Amino acid sequence: MRINKNSQIECIGPLSLFLMLVLTATFFLACAPAAAPVAKWEMMDSGTKDYLLAVWGNSNNDVFAVGFNGAIFHYDGKAWARMESGTDGWFLGIWGSSPSNVIAAGQKGCLLHYDGTGWKPMDGGSSLDLWAAWGTSAGDIYVSRQDGKVLHYNGTKWDLLDLPSKDILRDAWRTPDGKLLVVGHEGTILQYDGKAWAAINSGTRSNLYGIWGISGDDVFAVGHDGTVVHYDGKSWSVMTSGTTEPLLDVWGYSVSDVYAVGDKGTLIHFDGKQWSSVESGITGTLHGIWGSPQGDLFIVGKDGTILHKSR
């Protein structure tokens, strides 16, 4: 109803009331600030069908991906190009400390070093398969072997370390205060404080394949059967991931912006409260994820898959 100029009450029909509501809603929507565009994942042209297993970089225009058949690819910010590795074995680990110091680790003890101009073999003294590479500097590099032991490079030579675990180690992350956290099979988590290694209770017996954190008291590790465990500075606890697919790697930019990847194109995101599924558009395995300091995320996987997203 409405009141006319003679203070008489008039009825407004249902159609008129509906039109008024529509116009009002349209006005407020038009005046509301536009939502910021949400970046989506895009498929990049890798130029290969080789299975890509790991990705790492120095910046968004200096990224390396490795995998089967001696595959080492480099992204310069414009396109991916295959690099000469000199081998047809597979690589499962890649890590570096600068554009001129990158390590690739793989099958039958294969170790390659990139000096900014090309890849050259290194003698790690082992013929066993190498599963992961990580470090803190050019003179502090670690490589895990299939027998659960770890090789350490001090800038001059490789030595075999004696660790409090015999399980295969798959990934590592360095805390801001310099500690190394390493994850592996059977729920293994090891910590190195610069002086000694110690085993930590992860709260799970599932194989752990990837680890990443935002601080020393906010760390995520992912693994088999959709396992996600989180460290809050005091202890590790199991999180609900919403998937039972194996999760193979994890990376993020904040406690409310974390991604994990895995089998059958699995891609999940943590918003600070819960994990939820994200459409990847991929059905094959997504094996590795890495993010640049500039905010670009790269995911690699089966059949040469490389997904990219800018924040």
Predicted structure pTM score: 0.86
pLDDT at 13: 55
Q: Is the pLDDT of residue 21 over 50?
A: no
Q: Is the pLDDT of residue 132 over 90?
A: yes
The whole-number average pLDDT for the span 72-92 is: 97
At 40, is the secondary structure helix, strand, or coil?
coil
Percent of the chain with pLDDT over 70: 87
User: 61: closest CA among 74, 72, 77?
Assistant: 77
19 φ, ψ to 5°? -65, -40
39 band by pLDDT with thresholds 50, 70 and 90:
low
Q: Is the pLDDT of residue 33 over 60?
A: no
88 band by pLDDT with thresholds 50, 70 and 90:
very high
User: 134: closest CA among 177, 88, 169?
Assistant: 169
Among 2-16, 144-158, 165-179, the range scoring the smallest mean pLDDT is: 2-16
Tell me how far apart the alpha carbons of residues 60 and 294 are, in angstroms, rounded to a whole number.
6
pLDDT at 294: 92
pLDDT at 32: 43
Q: Is the pLDDT of residue 36 over 60?
A: no
Q: Is the pLDDT of residue 18 over 50?
A: no
Q: Is the pLDDT of residue 120 over 70?
A: yes
| Residues in contact with 307: Cβ distance below 8 Å, sequence separation at least 6, in sequence order | 41, 42, 43, 44, 280, 282, 286, 298, 299, 300
| Residues in contact with 120: Cβ distance below 8 Å, sequence separation at least 6, in sequence order | 112, 113, 114
Q: Is the pLDDT of residue 190 over 90?
A: yes
Beta strands in 33-175 (DSSP E): 42-43, 52-59, 62-67, 72-75, 80-82, 91-98, 101-106, 111-114, 119-122, 130-137, 140-145, 150-153, 158-161, 169-174
| Residue whose token pair is 């930590």 | 200
Tell me how far apart the alpha carbons of residues 202 and 307 are, in angstroms, rounded to a whole number.
30
Q: Is the pLDDT of residue 119 over 80?
A: yes
Q: Which two tokens stand for residue 218?
A: 């906010």
Among 9-18, 134-143, 186-195, the range scoring the smallest mean pLDDT is: 9-18
pLDDT at 177: 87
Q: Is the pLDDT of residue 17 over 60?
A: no
| Arch. (CATH architecture) of 42-310 | 7 Propeller (2.130)
Q: Where are the alpha helices (DSSP H) in the chain?
A: 14-31
Among 4-8, 105-109, 118-122, 257-261, the range scoring the smallest mean pLDDT is: 4-8
Q: Is the pLDDT of residue 228 over 60?
A: yes
Residue by residue, DSSP assigns 225-286 as GG-EEEE-SS-EEEE--S--SPEEEEEEEETTEEEEEEGGG-EEEE-SS-EEE---S--SPE
Q: Which two tokens stand for residue 33?
A: 């600030």
Separation in Å, CA 124 to CA 66, 92, 138, 222: 19, 16, 15, 28
Tell me how far apart the alpha carbons of residues 205 and 187 are, in angstroms, rounded to a whole number.
4
Q: With contact defined as beta carbons under 8 Å apart, do 134 and 171 qualify?
A: yes
Q: Which two tokens stand for residue 311?
A: 């924040």
Separation in Å, CA 109 to CA 133, 139, 181, 254, 280: 12, 20, 23, 35, 33
What one-letter code names the amino acid at 169?
A: L
| Structural domain boundaries in the chain | 2-31, 42-310
